[in-house]
Structure 1
């Protein structure tokens, strides 16, 4: 059976889902998105994702297509309709179809935004074998636009980064700007030195990760020291361990950077502990 997806007020089989060819998300990448994790049929940190969605919409002067309560119901309906136990829910909002192609976009309220929501079933998402082996990453220059704090659908360069990593036999790429790591292609980056967790501070240069916020809060509650500042690839290669965080990877250990093995080449104790703590606490607060 095909998935049921949500498009502008209607639940339809994915084969019947349609948007206009003049939609600005299609023509201009004029849209934002969120990905919410589903574990055991429940949503992880939904409120955090909705808060970031509002922030992204506000930053682009884009109208919200629905309120948080309605979006929550849509997410729950899709989980039920598609019988998702573990997986992801992708939500995308674009500025919609103002008529014809034009660089200038319409004022808020003059064009109906497009809302698309769909599920991806991923059984056993939390028990990813990669978390036991750890990721290998390469470094690439960060060539994205400057507002990485807005979660837009402009994902061409991160996609190219994923393919560069794949070609190099790695799992992901860390992007570097002005000599410092910004983030991974779809995750926030961290290193650990003498038990201290180091990750880049929040700014327009990186995405304000929902999982990042939760993991850092939990780390501090567990009496771990956190330092928010930039770090270089060379510093990362000399670190005791490293990891990334994202909605789909949770806390993923990194064991090799640009061919240099970290420690003994296996996931370190800080990353392993944070992954366990994050999954345990997330399941307790899931809705």
Structure 2
């Protein structure tokens, strides 16, 4: 049978999602837990690889197994063998033609940023930080120039293995929570797919506009340049969360993973 799992994790302690010889990845921990639970080797595929320090609110994986368990048993049994900062949120049997990556219709991320004259402490590693006040209207004007189907080479890491730099960036929503010099910003991104480091590179450039170092129109110049050198440096991974992929309702996955159900609200750190 083929099974899909929804996974949530804090990425601070890990070298990203993808398995590495060090064993310090989310995939390594998940597969070890599944192997212990089923007493058979389990290999997983994920909807979107996350880098070191990046978190996930709903990573989706699938795998094939001969083990038979009830969905709640997959969740509870696997969580028994996982570290405290990784947890299976749901389990659902799916048809053999379901593929967590290829079947996804969209992917979503949120970047959580603390604007404060003092660096984060209790939430260190879970939020990005700007000591400078940010202009929300300027950042939204810049973000509007990024929405649509574009060549995002200027925001692509040199190690990116994507076949094409052209992506359909469908939505960017920028929300401020709180007033004064201390507040939170949420930057939500939705696209058909993302390039390696794309969001962190977009964040670096949006914040350059927000600080007043560049005008919003500068973003169009960066986009047109199709050169990584034209954009701002890659921003910190600390506040980046994979909100998860969205699928057609025909797969029967939970509402938060289906496109027709709408967008699940961000429910990360306060």
Same fold by TM-score, threshold 0.5 exceeded? no
Q: Which has the higher contact order (CA 8 A, sep 6+)?
A: 2
TM-score interval (norm. to shorter) = under 0.3
